[in-house]
Amino acid sequence: MEENRIGKLLSAGGTPSLKATLSAILFLSWPAVVEQVMITLVQYIDTAMVGSLGSSATAAVGLTASTTWLFGGIFGAAAVGFSVQVAQHLGAGREKEAKSVTWQGLQFVGIFGTAIGLIGIGLSFPLPALLGAEGSLQQEAGLYFRIIACAMPFTFGANMLSAIIRCAGDTRTPMLLNVLINLLNICLNFLFIYPSRQISLLGREFFCWGAGWGVGGAAFASGLSTALVFFLFILVLFRKRSPIQISLRERYRFEVPCLKTVWRLGLPVAMERATVSLAQIVITAVIAGIGTAAVAANHLAVTAEAVSYLPAYGIAAAATTLVGQAVGAGRKDLARRFARLVTWIGVLVMTFGGALLFLCSVPLIRIFTSDPEVIQLGSQVLRIVAFAEPLFGASIVASGSLRGAGDSRVPFFISLGTMWGVRITLSLLLDGTLGLSGVWLAMAAELCVRGVVFMIRLYRGRWLNVRLF
């Protein structure tokens, strides 16, 4: 099993060879990378299905995307708070404590997820107008976000359990289940976005039922697929043999030390992601003032850009597990080695990703739309951001390594400074003269600055002195 391989590497005396270290990194990373790549491919199809309804439908979904990321960032912060504790407990051989944290994480999902979902539903009514949407977009965008908000408890649960299982050393199970969410989403999109119709398959005509709900159908499909797979995550947690397998016969209540550590780890992550998402919301409002075509092109370009950076998030997830378990085992030397190697792997992957964005910018946008204005704008901004992808990769993976060691405060301050000091400032200065291209030039500049600062933090090594317990 994956978690056994990590344990053997940590328990071995001395410093493991470069080959053994790379083997452990790649063995843990590849399922997370495959997961992110597959999710990206499925998201492309999902976005193209909505895009077939027209640029206004794409804009309705894209308008609330930054707000959805804001809520997702809060969920991710809580998941970090629980999952890093699981990694460090297992690294130190404290399985009972790891199971206790897992139980508390599951209970937290039920309480906090429901509360956040209710907040999201209430926000869905004024949100489109607050973001400066044109009158024709407000109703569809509000409906889309309202349905997404109803599914937030399940989204939170899937994020939480995926992170906990991954930090226990099992990256294959989250890979399979998260890919399943997206495959289900495509199938359900097919049923709920479009009306009933005749389809051709292998030369024969078939009747296909459809709800014809349009943008609302896309949101419903996303929510239903996430809810179904969340219950599969729970089944895995209770049935699959692992260091964090839990049972109804052995339940744990909330413990103050665990929740305090969640707060210490999660609050800076939540603030970091809120900083990024709020900045993106401001930028979305700026872009909304440029026009509907700019909103649609921005959303499609952001989706297309994922082809380069989501694999880095998979590598970062492995970095959190490896560094967390190494720190828990008291192997700071190995934690440092893992962090540096994994970060450079992320830079290499993102270099290839940036080249792909630059060379294939037009075909990537054409996957989603046939609108010539949107294609022209979207492909132009993709070529701009392509040059910043290697340093973006450095920031993503280095951040995952730092969090594995319990250092979540510094990444917040880095993101706060770069997002608001560089990206927002330059966007406001450039959008009036350069339009959407100016906003993306500001983004590229900020990603480069952020990557350099994260690398400096990583190599100075002060993050190794952070203590959780």
- pLDDT the model gives residue 11: 64
Which residues are within 8 A (CB) of 226 and not within 5 positions of it... i.e. 6 or more apart? Answer: 151, 154, 155, 158, 181
Q: Is the pLDDT of residue 2 over 90?
A: no
Q: Is the pLDDT of residue 320 over 70?
A: yes
Q: Is the pLDDT of residue 1 over 60?
A: no
Q: Is the pLDDT of residue 3 over 60?
A: no
- pLDDT the model gives residue 42: 59
- pLDDT the model gives residue 334: 86
Average pLDDT, the chain: 87
% pLDDT > 90, the chain: 46
How many CB atoms sit inside 10 A of residue 253's CB? 8
More reliable by pLDDT, 276 or 122: 122
Which among 267, 312, 245 has a CA at the least distance from the CA of 406? Answer: 267
Q: Residue 43: which pLDDT band, with cuts at 50, 70 and 90?
A: low
Q: What's the predicted TM-score (pTM) here?
A: 0.82
**How remote is the C-alpha of 355 from its chain's centroid?**
22
Give residue-wise pLDDT tens across range 322-340.
Answer: 899 888 888 888 899 889 9
- pLDDT the model gives residue 7: 64
CA distance 445 to 293: 24
Q: Is the pLDDT of residue 446 over 90?
A: yes
Q: Residue 48: which pLDDT band, with cuts at 50, 70 and 90?
A: confident
- pLDDT the model gives residue 207: 87
- pLDDT the model gives residue 84: 94
Q: Is the pLDDT of residue 341 over 60?
A: yes
Q: Residue 188: which pLDDT band, with cuts at 50, 70 and 90?
A: very high
CA distance 332 to 402: 12
CA distance 150 to 188: 17
Q: Residue 146: which pLDDT band, with cuts at 50, 70 and 90?
A: very high
Q: Residue 10: which pLDDT band, with cuts at 50, 70 and 90?
A: low
Q: Is the pLDDT of residue 5 over 80?
A: no
Q: Are 347 and 394 in contact (CB under 8 A)?
A: yes
Q: Residue 270: which pLDDT band, with cuts at 50, 70 and 90?
A: confident
Q: Which residues pair with 201 in a beta bridge?
A: 204
Give residue-wise pLDDT tens across range 61-97.
Answer: 878 877 887 888 889 889 999 999 999 999 888 999 9
| Cα three-residue angle 378-380-386, rounded to 5 degrees | 100
The dihedrals phi and psi of 208, each to the nearest 5 degrees, come to: -125, 120
- pLDDT the model gives residue 40: 61
- pLDDT the model gives residue 4: 54
Which among 83, 78, 77, 266 has a CA at the least distance from the CA of 165? Answer: 83
Give residue-wise pLDDT tens across range 218-234.
Answer: 899 999 999 999 999 99
- pLDDT the model gives residue 70: 80
Q: Are 77 and 112 in contact (CB under 8 A)?
A: no
DSSP string, 161-210: HHHHHHHTT--HHHHHHHHHHHHHHHHHHHHHTSEEEEEEETTEEEEEEE
Which residues are within 8 A (CB) of 328 and not within 5 positions of it... i.e. 6 or more apart? Answer: 87, 88, 89, 90, 91, 92
% pLDDT > 70, the chain: 94
Q: Is the pLDDT of residue 12 over 80?
A: no
More reliable by pLDDT, 370 or 107: 107
CA distance 268 to 72: 15
Query: Which helix or strand (DSSP H or E) is residue 254 part of?
Result: none
- pLDDT the model gives residue 97: 95
DSSP string, 400-464: HHHHHTT--HHHHHHHHHHIIIIIIHHHHHHHHHHTHHHHHHHHHHHHHHHHHHHHHHHHH-GGG
- pLDDT the model gives residue 432: 79
Average pLDDT over residues 293-304: 85
Q: Residue 20: which pLDDT band, with cuts at 50, 70 and 90?
A: confident
